[in-house]
Chain A
Amino acid sequence: MEELIKKIKGSIPLSLEAEEYLIAISREKVFPKGSILIRQGQSVDKVYFVKSGCVRSYCIDKNGKEHTLQFAIKSWWISDYIAIHNNESATLNVECLKESCIIEFNAKTLDGVLTLFPEYEPFQRNILERHIVSLYKRILNQLQLTASESYDLFLKQYPDIEQYTRNYHIASYLGITQESLSRIRVEKAKK
């Protein structure tokens, strides 16, 4: 939790009371590889801050195939925000791709911080804005970039991620087939 507090303090002034409150409502936990944090169809009440490790959110289509929506590495937040915002059951699965140290918060309790400690609001807003920017970029990249360019960008954004992801996780994130991904990798290796 220390790291997250440091991160918050790096962007906003945080009172001691607010700091103590955030520590009190958080729970730090190490999840082994393969742990499922959120399961499609079940209720969702938590948001997760990744202290270390790698977490993936994905949906399963009606044919049973997985499609990766997001990877969360060090200092990223992840949850099923659709489920939380609309108070619905989860449409996503969230799983740890390697052993991950996670700080979890109850979504409603974390929201309560804003009422109790308004100084926290810019930090929360910044997280949301970063999320929106990241989603916009993802859509724009899909529209504008070639598969090879998307892959380059992906590796820049998530360095070393290939060590603990499977090809189909990345291919489905980029919206390309596994064969295309293999082809791109072979071409890159030639260069």
Chain B
Amino acid sequence: MKALQIVKYGEIVESLAFNEISKPTVQANDVLIEIKAAAINPIDNSIILGNLQRMIPIPFPSTIAYDVSGIVVEKGEEVSDFQIGDLVYSRVPQEQMGTLAEYVAVTSAAVSKKPGNISFEEAASIPLAGLTALQTLEYAGIKENDKVLIHAGSGGVGSFAIQYAKAKGAYVYTTTSTANVNWVKELGADRVIDYKTEDYKTIVKDADIVFDTLGGNYSSEAFEVIKQGGKVVSIVGPLDEEIAKMFGMADYKLPEALAQLCSAKEASYKFIFMHPNGAHLNLIKTLIEDETIKPIIDKVYSFSESIEACIHLASGRAKGKIVIKIN
């Protein structure tokens, strides 16, 4: 089968190649998915650049990408909750990475039936960003009337997080650039802050939760807008000690400055590492079928245009998700 593989770390064009490889075989708990659509995420770009080689070492060559939708065409003997012919979607686990291909074998625990009211392309756009948003906001204990700041509301995670937070009854602030203000507002955000003309730090006060999707200064600035005892949850900022330990960095300490900010505000800081979860995807399926959440797609590329799609992703300018139609 045809697959887009990473052959070395570095620039996209030199690091990726289309290769003919053998179809994956299923283990007892796996389903084999004939891929209809896949989606790429910022993590794919970080992997290609080699930025994550310490946390996630990749053997070369490896097929890239995690998001998939398609049809179950084979299953292992232990799989009872899926049948051949089921239409499914998944964020595949790290050890099964490789959805820019014609087939992928995935442990059934990471798979869910896909929402019935959306296309394969739309379904492929959901898993990684949707699970990240859901797991982050749930970790922060989001509830009705919470004031939540979600950075980069036009991104894949941000656009999903806004809709999920609104579904939970929260008051949502979000930041985005001028060109995106209107459509981000349509997602339901209560206060869309145009970061080109406004300073979010003067607008957001006493937030219960800050969802940091940007890292850098934004992780520490979060403590300027968080309420006493609030929660800062980040998917790109510094690791926290628990997560660092999970990745084998036993001596890691949260940066001193951040630790001080936490204690000054009696607030918490947590780095969220999304984990694949079929049950969570099933929950998202219901929200999508009820149109509580809508998939936001920037562009659909054909399989042969996958490298261009990765270049588009790396530009950081995508509004919503970048999807690749496989078959």
Contact = CB atoms under 8 A, between A and B. Distances in A.
Interface in A101-135: none
B120 A63 contact: yes
Contact of B116 (A36, A66, A179, A182): A66
Looking at chain B's contact residues, is the secondary structure mostly helix, strand, loop, or mixed?
loop
Given A166-B289, A166-B290, A178-B291, A60 B87 contact: yes
Interface string A44-70: 000000000000001010011110000
A40 B123 CA distance: 20
Contacts of B123: 64
B118 interface: yes
B119 A42 contact: no
Interface residues of A toward B: which range?
Answer: 10 to 19
A175 B289 CA distance: 16
Contacts of A167: 289-291
A96 to B, nearest CB: 15
B75 interface: no
A168 interface: yes
Interface string B82-114: 010101000000000000000000000000001
A39 interface: yes
A64 B288 CA distance: 14
Interface size class of B (residues with CB under 8 A): 10 to 19
Name the prevailing secondary structure of the A interface residues. Answer: mixed
A42 B69 CA distance: 21
A60 to B, nearest CB: 7
B287 to A, nearest CB: 12
B290 A39 contact: no
A41 B73 CA distance: 12
A68 to B, nearest CB: 9
B83 A172 contact: no
Contacts of A171: 117
Given A167-B290, A167-B291, A182-B291, A64 B85 contact: no
B116 A41 contact: no
A168 B114 CA distance: 14
B188 to A, nearest CB: 14
A134 to B, nearest CB: 23
Given A64-B36, A64-B123, A182-B291, A168 B117 contact: yes
A189 B293 CA distance: 23
A18 B69 CA distance: 50
Contacts of A41: 85
Contact of A168 (B69, B87, B119, B289): B289
23 contacts: A41-B85, A42-B85, A63-B119, A63-B120, A64-B36, A64-B69, A64-B87, A64-B114, A64-B118, A64-B120, A64-B123, A65-B116, A65-B117, A65-B118, A66-B116, A166-B117, A166-B289, A167-B289, A168-B116, A168-B291, A172-B117, A178-B117, A179-B291
Interface of B: 36, 69, 83, 85, 87, 114, 116-121, 123, 289-291
6 interchain residue pairs of minimum CB distance: A168-B117, A64-B120, A63-B119, A66-B116, A178-B291, A64-B119
